[in-house]
């Protein structure tokens, strides 16, 4: 295949480029090389160096129609990864998130109309952020709690409660038909991006698959970006000897999926000639608490820094979300192979070989605090 990967120099993209290159595909990457991911001098970006020689690289913006048109020429598959990805940041840099994630997708789809007969598969990266809290269970039925309210959070009641009875609900696996109810601008733009892509490709008869990734981690994750990726944020703090502050009571949880598994899911989606118009949750199906992540990292780095559970919280954060993996297993044949215990060891080994990055986490929190988005 001749594959265009938008955002292909990023964390997921660079790992995908390596895999597809090994499999003998011809790859073209279109990437803006955002300084938040690649640093102020993008030519020195380790992620860019990682894809060099494995693809044709176009340094450009997915929002520019002429650039995207020429990037698409000659391609017969597209993986759309280009996006702004910070949940907290999306709550104040709203225009930027709408521009890249929504307008950028619009431009890509518009350009694709000219190549609709050539393109045999589109894969769009969506996110579990589209669900917000996701699915919960209480008193014989499923619930989809809205964003937690300020009153509860400020009193340290972090688990979502039934708004009628006030009882705490139990998080259960979230599946593809669960209610779409994003809690953040990021989540909303990801849903818009996903929905636009499915709708337009279906109309143009271009086979399309949307993958809703859970929290992805592993080699290639930006260690300098303080806005996303808790494993890398915690790692940079620990390696500086700085303490790790944990929000809420530390029991908030995520479904952490190793990068190689995510790459597998994209490759399966690209190669599958039967499945089209479908959405798949991509996770392990296992929830791990944020406190467990911090404790494991401190122990693996062997650096004794304090872990402090602060009771603070960020507006827009969800409490729990983990994937129901049954549809992906059944229809796509996808099952994550790497347990969190094994993946975190590989991640830490990789981080130990990387240059230490500045710890800009405090700065990013100050911005949230000033805007009333961190309490
Ligand atoms: N990493 C995760 O945990 C995760 C979870 C769910 C969904 N996703 C989605 O997967 C995709 C890839 O995520 P990632 O973790 O690799 O992110 P990343 O930030 O590492 O990579 C995104 C890449 O897109 C590029 N980019 C941003 N704006 C662009 C623009 N306007 N034009 C061209 N390129 C642009 C950036 O320079 C970067 O190289 C994103 O769509 C993201 O929303 C990621």
Interval 83-92: pLDDT, tens: 999 988 999 9
In this predicted structure, the answer to whether residue 369 has a pLDDT above a threshold of 80 is no
pLDDT in tens, 62-83: 999 999 999 999 999 999 999 9
Nearest to 28 by CA among 76, 99, 100: 76
- Note whether residue 353 is domain-resident: yes
63 lines ligand 1 (CB under 6 A): yes
Assess whether pLDDT exceeds 80 at residue 158.
yes
Give the pair of three-digit tokens for residue 30. Answer: 């279109």
| Mutation probe of ligand 1 site: the residue of 78, 81, 288 with most atoms within 8 A of C-beta | 81
List of long-range contacts for 297-301, beta carbons under 8 Å, 24+ apart: 297/231, 297/234, 297/235, 297/238, 297/244, 297/344, 297/348, 298/238, 298/244, 300/344, 300/345, 300/348, 301/235, 301/238, 301/239, 301/348, 301/352
Ligand 1: centre distance to CA 97 (Å): 11
Ligand 1 center–CA 125 separation, angstroms: 9
Tokens of 212: 């809703």
Q: Quote the pLDDT of residue 375.
A: 79
Ligand 1 pocket, residue 334 CB under 6 Å: no
pLDDT of residue 314: 85
Predicted confidence band at 355 (pLDDT cuts at 50, 70, 90)?
confident
Contacts of 129 (CB under 8 A, 6+ apart): 87, 182, 183, 184, 186, 187, 190
Decide: 213 in ligand 1 pocket, CB within 6 A.
Answer: yes
Angle at 1 between CA 334 and CA 21, to 5 degrees: 75
Domain that holds residue 79: 2-370
Q: Is the pLDDT of residue 374 over 90?
A: no
Average pLDDT, the chain: 94
Q: How far is the CA of 161 from the centre of ligand 1 (A)?
A: 33
Average pLDDT over residues 125-138: 97
- 104 in contact with ligand 1, CB cutoff 6 A: yes
The number of domains in the chain is 1
For residue 105, what pLDDT is reported?
Answer: 98
CATH number at residue 89: 3.40.50.720
pLDDT at 102: 98
Residue with the smallest CA separation from ligand 1 atom 2 is 216
What's the pLDDT at 146? 92
> What is the per-residue pLDDT for 33?
97
Task: Say which residues have a Cβ less than 8 Å from residue 298's Cβ, sequence separation at least 6.
Answer: 238, 244, 304, 305, 307
The reported pLDDT for the residue numbered 88 is 87
Q: Which atom of ligand 1 is nearest to the CA of 61?
A: 32
pLDDT in tens, 229-267: 899 999 999 999 999 999 999 999 999 999 999 999 999
Domain presence at residue 162: yes
297 is a domain residue: yes
Is residue 283 in contact with ligand 1, taking CB distance under 6 Å? no
Asked if the structure places residue 207 within a domain, the reply is yes
pLDDT of residue 242: 93
CA of 122 to the centre of ligand 1 (A): 16
| Tens-digit pLDDT profile for residues 310-335 | 999 987 789 999 999 999 999 999 99
Give residue 327's pLDDT: 98
* Pocket lining: 216 vs ligand 1, CB cutoff 6 Å: yes
- The answer to whether residue 164 scores a pLDDT higher than 90 is no
Nearest-CA residue for atom 11 of ligand 1: 81
The pLDDT score that the predictor gives to residue 228 is 77
> In this predicted model, what pLDDT tens digit does every residue of 174-227 receive, in sequence order?
999 999 999 999 999 999 999 999 999 999 999 999 999 999 999 999 888 877
pLDDT of 363 > 80? The answer is no
pLDDT tops 90 at residue 356? no
By C-alpha distance, which of 98, 124, 100 is closest to 112?
A: 124
pTM of the shown model: 0.96
Whether 215 lines ligand 1, by a CB cut-off of 6 Å, is yes
Catalytic sites, residue numbers: 186
Atom of ligand 1 nearest to the CA of 99: 31
Residue 31 CB–ligand 1 contact under 6 Å: yes
Share of residues in the chain with pLDDT > 70 (%): 100
Distance 87 CA to ligand 1 centre (A): 12
Q: Is residue 101 part of a domain?
A: yes
State in Å: Cα 106 to ligand 1 middle: 16
Contacts of 211 (CB under 8 A, 6+ apart): 123, 124, 125, 126, 265, 266, 269, 279, 280, 282
pLDDT score of 222:
86
pLDDT at residue number 279 = 98
Distance 83 CA to ligand 1 centre (A): 4
pLDDT tens figures, 9-61: 999 999 999 999 999 999 999 999 999 999 889 888 999 999 999 999 999 99
For residue 183, being part of any structural domain is answered with: yes
Ligand 1 mutation pick, 30, 33, 34, 185, max ligand atoms within 8 A of CB: 34
72 lies in a domain?
A: yes
Q: What is the mean predicted confidence (pLDDT) over 328-350?
A: 97
- CB of 7 within 6 A of ligand 1: the answer is yes
Does 375 map to a domain? no
């Amino acid at each position: 295949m001749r594959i265009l990967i938008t955002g292909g120099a990023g964390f997921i993209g660079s790992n995908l480029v390596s895999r597809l290159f090994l499999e003998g595909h011809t790859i073209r990457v279109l990437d803006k090389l955002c300084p938040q991911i690649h640093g102020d001098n993008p030519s020195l970006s380790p992620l860019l160096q990682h894809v060099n020689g494995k693809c044709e690289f176009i340094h450009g913006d997915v929002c520019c129609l002429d650039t995207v048109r020429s990037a698409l020429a000659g391609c017969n598959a597209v993986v759309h990864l280009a996006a702004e990805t910070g949940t907290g940041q999306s709550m104040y840099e709203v225009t930027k998130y709408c521009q890249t994630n929504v307008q950028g997708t619009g431009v890509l789809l518009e350009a694709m109309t000219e190549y609709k007969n050539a393109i045999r598969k589109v894969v769009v990266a969506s996110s579990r952020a589209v669900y917000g809290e996701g699915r919960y269970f209480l008193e014989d039925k499923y619930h989809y709690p809205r964003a937690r309210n300020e009153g509860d959070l400020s009193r340290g009641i972090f688990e979502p409660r039934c708004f009628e009875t006030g009882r705490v609900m139990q998080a259960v696996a979230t599946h593809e038909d669960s209610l779409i109810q994003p809690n953040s601008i990021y989540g909303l733009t990801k849903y818009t991006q996903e929905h636009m892509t499915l709708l337009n490709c279906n109309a143009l008869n271009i086979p399309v698959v949307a993958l809703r990734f859970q929290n992805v981690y592993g080699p290639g994750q930006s260690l300098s970006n303080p806005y996303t990726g808790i494993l890398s944020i915690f790692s940079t703090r620990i390696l500086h000897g700085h303490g790790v502050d944990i929000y809420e009571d530390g029991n908030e949880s995520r479904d952490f999926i190793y990068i190689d598994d995510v790459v597998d899911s994209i490759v399966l989606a690209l190669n599958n000639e039967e499945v089209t118009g479908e959405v798949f949750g991509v996770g392990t199906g296992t929830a791990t608490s944020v406190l467990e992540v911090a404790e494991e990292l401190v122990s693996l780095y062997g650096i004794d820094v304090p872990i402090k559970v602060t009771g603070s919280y960020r507006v827009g954060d969800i409490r729990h979300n983990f994937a129901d993996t049954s549809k992906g297993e059944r229809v796509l044949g996808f099952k994550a192979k790497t347990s969190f215990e094994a993946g975190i060891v590989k991640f830490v080994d990789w981080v130990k070989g990387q240059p230490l990055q500045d710890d800009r986490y405090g700065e990013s929190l100050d911005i949230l605090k000033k805007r009333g988005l961190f309490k």
